[in-house]
Amino acid sequence: MILLPTTLSAAAAAALLNFWLSTRVAKVRRANQIAHGDGGNALLGRRMRAHMNFVEYTPFVLILCAAIELAGRGGMILKAVMAIYMLARVAHAIGMDDDNVPKTRVIGIAITFLTMLGLAIYAVLIAAGVV
């Protein structure tokens, strides 16, 4: 039996974050009685985009995490990368609540991009037998 503890933990964290992001959307929907779309509500639009942004990037990061772990290259660094990624997604979501582009949003998306790029490069290097 193959166990992927880092991927399992990251997937669990992602599921909890997804739940949190969706409840943030639902809270604005309920408060403003908006059943569909964003109803022209700027905060709802931003929260919907934060949620979708998470859904757009996280599957790729989880797939790369699993592939790297299956290749036997997990370890503490992969655990740390995934923990930082999840914290960055929280920062991004919180930053999206502001009309401006706050530092937390920029940091969140920058870490997201760097994580995805770094994991992709590492996976290619593993596949090529370089590392």
**Which residue bears the tokens 């193959």?**
2
Contact by Cβ (8 Å): 93, 21: yes
Please state the separation of Cα 46 from the chain's center in Å: 16
Mean of all residue pLDDT scores within the chain: 96
Half-sphere exposure in the Cβ direction for 82 (13 Å, CA): 28
* Residues 47-59 pLDDT 10s: 999 999 999 999 9
Residue 116's pLDDT is: 98
| pLDDT at 82 (0 to 100) | 98
User: Domain range for residue 17?
Assistant: 5-127
Kindly report the pTM of this predicted structure. 0.94
pLDDT for the residue 59 = 98
How much is the average pLDDT of 103-130? 97
Q: How far apart are CA 86 and CA 58, in angstroms?
A: 9
Residues 34, 44: contact at Cβ < 8 Å?
A: yes
Q: CATH no. for residue 67?
A: 1.20.120.550
- The answer to whether 80 and 65 have CB atoms below 8 angstroms apart is no
pLDDT digits (tens, 9 = 90+) for 30-47: 999 999 999 999 999 999
Is pLDDT of 123 > 90?
yes
> How many domains are contained in the chain?
1
Q: What is the pLDDT of residues 68-94, one digit of tens each?
A: 999 999 899 999 999 999 999 999 999
